[in-house]
Amino acid sequence: MSSTSYDSSSEGGPVGEAEEEIAVISSLSSDRSDRLPSTPVTVIKPSKPWSPLNFRDLWAYRELLGFLIWRDIKVRYKQTLLGVAWAIIQPLAMMLIFTFFFGQLAQIPTEGIPSGLFYYSGLSLWMFFSNSAISGANSLIGNTNLITKVYFPRLVIPSAAVGAGIIDFAIASLLLFPMLLYFDFSVTWKLLMLVPIFVGLALLTLGTGVLFSALNAKYRDVRHALPFLLQIWMFVSPIIYPSSIVPQKWRWIIVLNPLTGLIEGYRAALFDRPIVWGPLVYALVFAVILLSIAAYSFRRMERSFAEVI
C-alpha cells in the first residue's frame, strides 16, 4: 500500500477524513461542555451490562447521527457518474431481470399485480433491508478510528448505516408512484398503512444491523456468514413469488419469516389488496423484540469494542 494513503495532509485521504470526523465529534462534545456548570453535578460510573439503554445520551448525540448519515451517503456516491440515481437503477435492473425470467419464462403468478410492480415493490424493500443490514454489521469495523479515540454512544454507528439506507429507499420509492399511475391503481386509505409497515421494517433492519455489528466486532467470520444468510433469507421471503403459491405444509416457514408480513402488507397497501393482519402484527412484534435483544447484546459487548476491533 502506498504511503500517500496514510498521509493526513492529503485531501480526501482516509486519515484526513477520520481526523475531520474526530474533530466534528469533539466539537459536538465541547459545545455541550461549555454549557456545563463549574461544579460537577453528575458522577459518571461504569454502566451495568444489563442496564437499559440511555436514550437521553443517544438523543444528545443526534447531531452526530445526522453527520454520520450524511458522511455515509457522500462516501457511497462519491466520484460516481450517476450519483444517487444508483438507488433507483439497482432495483429497476433487478425488476427487469426478474420480470423476464420469473414472469415471462417461469410464469410465476403475481396475484393479478403487474409483474414489474410486483417485483419492484418487493425488491425495493429487500434491498433496503439487506444493504442496510450488511452496512450496519460492518459499521463498527469501518469506524475503528472513531471508536478507539473519541467517546460517543457506539449505537450511533450502526444506526447511521441504517439511516443512510432509509434515504436510498426513499429515492428508490419515487419510481413507484408513476408506475402506480401508469397501471391505474387508485389511492385508498390503505396507503396510510405504509407508515407503520415501514417503521416495522426499519426496526427489523436496525435490530439486525445492531446485533450483527456487535457479533462482527468479536467474531470476524460474521462478515462472511451474513451475506450467505441473507441469500437464504431472500428465497424464503415472498419477493419472487406470493406466499399463496407455497404448499400448505410449508406455509409455516414463510409465515415465521417477519419479512413475509411486511412485504405482503406493503403490497396490499400499495395495490389495494386485503391486508392479512396476523403476519403483519407478528412482524411488528418480532421487530420490536429483535431490536430489544440486539440493543441488550450490544450493550453487553460495547465495553470491549475498543480492545477487539
CA 45, distance to chain mean position in Å, is: 32
pLDDT digits (tens, 9 = 90+) for 14-63: 445 556 665 655 555 555 545 555 665 555 455 555 455 566 777 888 89
CA-closest candidate to residue 191, choices 125, 265, 269, 268:
269
- 114 has pLDDT over 50: yes
Hunting for cell 466539537 — which residue is that?
Answer: 27
Task: Say whether pTM exceeds 0.85.
Answer: no
DSSP E strand boundaries for 2-154? none
pLDDT at 75 (0 to 100):
85
Using pLDDT thresholds of 50, 70 and 90, give the confidence band for residue 219.
confident
Residues 6 or more apart from 283 whose CB is under 8 A from it?
A: 200, 204, 258, 259, 260, 261, 262, 265
C-beta separation of 146 from 21 below 8 A? yes
CA distances from 45 to 42, 48, 71, 304 (A): 9, 9, 32, 16
Domain boundaries, the chain: 1-45, 51-308
Give the Cα separation of 213 and 131 in Å (integer).
13
Higher pLDDT, 12 or 254: 254
Q: Which three cell numbers stand for residue 234?
A: 431472500
Three-state DSSP class for residue 101: helix
pLDDT digits (tens, 9 = 90+) for 153-207: 889 999 999 999 999 999 999 998 888 888 888 888 889 999 999 999 999 999 9
